Amino acid sequence: MASDAGGLAGAVSSADEVLRPSTYGTIPLDDWVETVVKDWLVPNFRPAFRAAQWPVDKVLSNLNDLLQVIPFAAILAIFVLIAWRFAGRGVAIFTLVSLALLETVGLWSETMTTLSMILTAVVFCAAVGIPLGILAAGSDRFEAILRPILDIMQTIPPFVYLVPIVMLFGVGMVPGVIATIIFALPPIIRLTNLGIRQVRDELVEAGYAFGSTRRQVLIDIQIPLALRTIMAGLNQTLMLALSMAVIAALIGAGGLGLTVFTGLGRLDVGMAFLGGLGIVLLAIILDRITQAIGAGPAARNASWTLSGFFKRLLGYARSGSEAGRPSGQAAE
């Protein structure tokens, strides 16, 4: 009985060996990729890639210099007013407390560096992603070509393309921003495409019926109606960019990600915690503000907007002056 079982197992193993493609040879795909990148792409196109990073470098360096020069109180006031205007009193108070906390723990400069990197990545994602989303919405064939590329960009681990990015662009903040752009670009393309495709056909046909050109229909009908979905894509891009802060630090990017990375390297739990806390607070502030902007004025709490504050202030002053008048004058 045991010999029969052993013979059956041997037959199954032999059949498995016969059916395995690796029995007849292996494909050296890793060698091919390394040859293409190291022996062809880097020697021939590295100067072109270095030149292509020039606009990213300029935007990033200027923005970082500006944020580092502006006084803390001014940036705090700007963020609190923006949060109050678009997201309400609660988010404004949270923004005030969070930014004050980051300055108190000595992470203000790192926070501004991270903010400049994130804003630069989001600007380039929007500049590239929104036009690509519009093109995909207007052509099913272009969307079919673009979709697998976006799938690869969203599913491939960022560590995989950090190596060729370092070989082509070097190390530093700019290669970190480029890696962030690759990682954060797909959502804004997908949601721009989705938002424009969801615009009702009757409205588009009405625009053409009134003599509008394709460009006028796009600018005056499709984009305004899809703006909420596009802003949702921008919000997702922003969040993905923030999630790359620590990974980008592996190739020399600074900011809060470098604080976390340094803390991990030194086994300094406190430093790693502060860096992570800064990223979380910055993510919450930017997320709430962009969500409120995307929700539109109707969804905002108008009673705590900046205009609402002044209206209430004027209303109180008017009611107070009327209350101070004699009853007869007030009636007049």
Segment 101-116, tens digit of pLDDT: 999 999 999 999 999 9
Query: Is residue 292 domain-resident?
Result: yes
Query: Is residue 287 domain-resident?
Result: yes
The 3-state secondary structure of 83-135, one letter per residue:
HHHHHCHHHHHHHHHHHHHHHHCCCHHHHHHHHHHHHHHHHHHHHHHHHHHHH
The count of other CB atoms within 10 Å of the CB of residue 167 is 15
- Residue appearing with tokens 């480029």: 178
pLDDT score at 327: 44
pLDDT tens per residue, range 139-190: 999 999 999 999 998 888 888 888 888 888 888 889 999 999 999 999 999 9
Tokens of residue 38, six digits:
């190291």
117/248 Cα distance (integer angstroms): 10
Query: Is residue 102 domain-resident?
Result: no
pLDDT score at 307: 53
pLDDT score at 323: 45
Q: Which has the minimum average pLDDT: 3-12, 42-51, 87-96, 247-256?
A: 3-12
Res. 298 pLDDT band, cuts 50 70 90: low
Query: Is residue 313 domain-resident?
Result: no
66/74 Cα distance (integer angstroms): 12
Does the pLDDT value for residue 123 go beyond 50? yes
Query: Is residue 264 domain-resident?
Result: no
The count of other CB atoms within 10 Å of the CB of residue 41 is 15
How long a stretch of residues is the chain? Answer: 332
CA distance readout (Å), 206 to 137, 201, 222? 19, 8, 12
Does the pLDDT value for residue 328 go beyond 70? no
On average, the pLDDT of the chain sits at 85
pLDDT score at 308: 52
Does the pLDDT value for residue 12 go beyond 50? yes
Query: Is residue 319 domain-resident?
Result: no
pTM of the model: 0.80
CATH of the domain at 122: 1.10.3720.10
pLDDT tens per residue, range 260-296: 989 988 989 999 999 999 999 999 999 999 888 877 6
Say how many domains are in the chain.
Answer: 1
Q: For residue 279, which of 251, 239, 252 has the smallest C-alpha distance?
A: 239
Q: Which has the minimum average pLDDT: 47-51, 151-155, 320-324?
A: 320-324
Q: Which has the minimum average pLDDT: 80-84, 247-251, 298-302?
A: 298-302
- Specify the amino acid at residue 218: L
Burial of 17 from C-beta contacts in 10 A (0-12 / 13-18 / 19+): exposed
φ/ψ of residue 25, rounded to 5 = 145, 155
- Specify the amino acid at residue 293: I
CA distance readout (Å), 68 to 115, 211, 310? 11, 50, 32
Query: Is residue 210 domain-resident?
Result: yes
Query: Is residue 61 domain-resident?
Result: yes
For the chain, first and last CA: distance in Å?
Answer: 112
Does the pLDDT value for residue 21 go beyond 90? no
Whole-number percent of the chain with pLDDT over 90: 47
- Residue appearing with tokens 């900046």: 306
Residue-range definition of the domain harbouring residue 159: 29-70+107-253+279-297
pLDDT score at 306: 47
pLDDT score at 11: 80
CA atoms within 13 A on the CB side of 298: 1
Does the pLDDT value for residue 326 go beyond 60? no
Whole-number percent of the chain with pLDDT over 70: 88
Does the pLDDT value for residue 301 go beyond 60? no
Does the pLDDT value for residue 83 go beyond 70? yes
List CB contacts of 60: < 8 A, sequence separation 6 or more: 116, 117, 120, 173, 174, 177
